[in-house]
């Protein structure tokens, strides 16, 4: 890596972290002032709420900070005539924009990778602390359908992956064939393991001599393959705050069933593709600035760039919400706009060079 590239990257990262920390403090500060009266009584839980809300704020502050840091960095280089100096010694626009773009892309990929972890549940945890003074809440009286089965959970703890009072009704051709009841169960990572199980089998009656109902008792029973607790809870609540891995599992699980997957697909696309608008916008906006401050009003142009960034982010956010409610297809609401921005950014890159 050349010396001028290290210089650009260091200044960009410095500006990024200054803007990022400022946006984090602003977001969390406004939230704390708005919800302080509803805070849990425990100081530990209050601190935990602030931590989770800080993590939740990353979803908004990182993409904006990536673009704003490029704007600040280039304005600083223009004001100090560093940009003119770099061009004067034979360094091209491509050479200058590369460290900015790849720094922005690296930060975006780090952010996307966070959504593979429990970071994706930060908003849910903060909301639970505010409402129930606990990180996770158990769901009660869940009734769900899975293929030819109807499942009832009296109580489900998604964090401990445990449930109590489970009933599984097997239906074949609109006929109830079996009822599996268990006092407790846990998810072992692949299947639900039921304990203290009672199985009632109802054979198909064809004549008066047909076999009657059978009742079987078992200590252990395996059922509901790949029916993950987090999928159960989110489907029951109608919310899809899930990590990327859980979202992929949910799509694979429900793809064979008659379930609308638009909201789950939107969540997956917004976690994987939506953040990419930031490095692409860095590439686009870089070429919109002249090389010398003599050719523009710095205050007005910086306002224009910030307004443009917020407008594009807002439009993409609205399209994501429309996709999650099935107003438009997720592929059209999330992937298509990002693809168009990518095509324009690459076209601008090759045109200017």
Which pLDDT value is given to residue 171? 86
Q: What is the pLDDT of residue 235?
A: 63
* Separation CA 307–CA 44 (nearest Å): 39
- For all residues of the chain together, what is the average pLDDT? 86
Prediction pTM value: 0.84
Q: Confirm if 184 and 163 have CB atoms less than 8 A apart.
A: yes
Tell me the average pLDDT across 271-296. Answer: 85
pLDDT score recorded for residue 208: 65
Look at strands 192-201 and 149-157 and give their pairing. unpaired
pLDDT of 240 over the 60 cut: no
Mutual angle of helices 298-324 and 262-272, in 10-degree steps: 150
- What are the structure tokens assigned to 21, written together? 């920390």
- What the block records as the tokens of 344 is 């324009």
Which pLDDT band holds residue 261 (cuts at 50, 70, 90)? confident
**Is the Cβ–Cβ distance between 228 and 252 less than 8 Å?**
no
Mean pLDDT score, 241-249: 84
pLDDT(153) > 90? no
Q: Give the residue carrying structure tokens 């990778």.
A: 113
Residue 238 has pLDDT above 70, yes or no: no
Whole-number pLDDT of residue 1:
73
* Average pLDDT over every residue of 4-17: 94
């Amino acid at each position: 890596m050349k010396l001028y590239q290290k210089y650009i990257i260091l200044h960009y990262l410095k500006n990024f972290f200054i803007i990022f920390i400022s946006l984090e403090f602003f977001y969390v500060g406004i939230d704390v002032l708005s919800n302080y009266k509803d805070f849990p009584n425990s100081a530990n839980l209050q601190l935990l709420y602030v931590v989770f809300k800080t993590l939740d704020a990353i979803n908004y502050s990182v993409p904006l900070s990536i673009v704003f840091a490029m704007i600040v960095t280039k304005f600083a280089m223009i004001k100090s005539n560093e940009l003119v100096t770099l061009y004067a010694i034979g360094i091209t626009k491509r050479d200058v924009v590369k460290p900015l773009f790849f720094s922005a892309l690296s930060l975006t990929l780090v952010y996307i990778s966070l959504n593979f972890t429990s970071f994706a549940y930060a908003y849910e945890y903060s909301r639970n602390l505010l409402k129930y003074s606990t990180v996770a809440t158990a769901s009660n009286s869940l009734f769900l359908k899975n293929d030819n089965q109807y499942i009832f959970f009296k109580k489900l703890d998604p964090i401990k992956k445990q449930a109590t009072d489970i009933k599984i009704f097997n239906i074949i051709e609109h006929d109830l064939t079996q009822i599996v009841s268990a006092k407790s169960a846990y998810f072992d990572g692949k299947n639900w393991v039921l304990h203290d199980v009672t199985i009632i089998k109802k054979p198909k009656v064809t004549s008066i001599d047909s076999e009657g109902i059978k009742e079987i008792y078992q200590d252990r029973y395996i059922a509901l393959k790949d029916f993950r607790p987090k999928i159960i809870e989110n489907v029951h609540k109608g919310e899809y705050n899930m990590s990327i891995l859980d979202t992929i599992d949910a799509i694979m699980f429900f793809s064979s069933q008659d379930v609308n997957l638009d909201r789950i697909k939107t969540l997956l696309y917004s976690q994987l593709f939506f953040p990419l608008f930031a490095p692409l916008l860095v590439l686009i906006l870089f070429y919109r600035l002249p090389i010398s401050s003599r050719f523009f009003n710095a205050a007005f142009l910086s306002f224009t760039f910030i307004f443009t960034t917020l407008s594009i982010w807002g439009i993409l956010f609205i399209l994501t919400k429309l996709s999650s409610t099935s107003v438009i297809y997720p592929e059209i609401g999330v992937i298509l706009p990002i693809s168009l921005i990518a095509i324009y950014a690459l076209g601008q890159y090759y045109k200017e060079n």
